[in-house]
Amino acid sequence: MASKTSRTSKTPAYKCAECGWTTVKWVGRCGECQAWGTVEETGVTVARTTAATTVLEPARRIAEVDGTTAAFLPTGVDELDRVLGGGLVPGAVILLAGEPGVGKSTLLLDVAAKFARTGQDVLYVTGEESAAQVKLRAERIDAVAHTLYLSAETDLGQALGQVEKLEPKLLIVDSVQTLSSADVEGSAGGVSQVREVAASIIAAAKRRNMTTLLVGHVTKDGSIAGPRLLEHLVDVVCQFEGERHSRLRLLRAVKNRYGATDDVGCFDLNEAGIEGLADPSGLFVSRTREPVSGTCITVTMEGRRPLLAEVQSLLAESTSSQPRRATSGLDSSRVAMLLAVLQQRAGCILHKDDSYVATVGGVKLSEPATDLAVALAVASAKARKALPQRLIAFGEVGLAGEVRPVPGINQRIHEAQRLGFTHAVVPASPNGPGPVPEGFSVREVAHLAEALELLIT
């Protein structure tokens, strides 16, 4: 039996109440989360150094490890599988964070029901609602399944007892901030409690090879509530986001040990529940029989996914010495810059007009590639002449009026062609736009004035 030696030292300890970061001396600002005034003295820190002990399971060559036990299991929700990289991995712990009311519980209840319909046992632990309340929502969104079990628990020990008894393949905890352990001081949702709850659930998931989905709250600034350690412990961190007055919901992977983090899942949250959107462009593009001046379609990239969106502009003669500049869904300072470029570099007189520029469907466009569409929409409104139908435009516009290349030109063109568009105005680039679909015409422009020729011809 190998001998063990230990060394113990005691020093005053200070801990951040926000993220749990510790230090041996007091500081005014946390070194982990950068919060001010959250570091407090907690007592003493006991440090131990232990010699090597007997190895119970020897290390194996990586080629001898059976990788089939960690194969992806489809959830039945294609948009979620897209973000996760293929589906759920047995033993993986996934943290889903989002603002209140965004639809986290609805999404996971739908996932639980579809996974249970494959014949697997699923345990849904709710600490925020009663089992009857969850049942009502499940009936509304058609998420009732025979092997889906509900447990309304706020005690960690009771929740782990349910896991021991049922041995589910999928565990959903809604939410991790509502569970508390009787062995740890502090109220539910505190740093110590969240750390203990997460560590215990993760240990149970790894030991049983049980996939686990944790719901997490967010703070006012949009970050995940609780200690930063929580994000380090889990395997996948997803953000579920969307405007309160919009039906569109976007799911992004912030961290993913099993796949990429540059893909986005789109969902439609409506009265009947939540549905994945393979083609969400219909929410962002208006349908009019006749072409209207002041509108332009663009293609923006959400991660690796191209999405069509419509920019609309309206100009009205101003009665004030300071014309109004109003925007919705776009960065107001960038729109103001584009108005100045249009006037100074393209001869479009706008300083006497009130300008209103907005997106359709409440989508937010922050990518510089939407500059060209905004400029064309404003110029179209000024000329009171509609752009050609089935036309898209994208490209970054500089202060000199130049149109700069953007990433994914060919991918954007193919997405537009798939949705029935036939023309595109794109930035001129040394390598060109790449292979163009048959029957699709592409016009490369190097300057904003070249793009505005569309309103003259």
Query: Which segments are annotated as binding site for ATP?
Result: 98-105
Chain length of the chain: 457
Taking CA atoms, 185 is separated from 24, 192, 286, 416, in Å, by 22, 7, 55, 57
Binding residues: 98-105
Distance between CA atoms of residues 340 and 244, nearest Å? 33
3-class DSSP string for 134-177: HHHHHHHCCCCCCCEEEEECCEHHHHHHHHHHHCCCEEEEECCC
Nearest C-alpha neighbor of 387 from the set 309, 307, 285, 456: 456
Q: Which two tokens stand for residue 255?
A: 């961290």
* E strand or H helix that includes residue 115: helix 104-116
Distance between CA atoms of residues 94 and 107, nearest Å? 14
Grouping H, G, I as helix, E, B as strand and the rest as coil, residue 279 is: coil
Question: For residue 197, which phi and psi values (nearest 5 degrees)?
Answer: -60, -50
* E strand or H helix that includes residue 326: strand 325-328
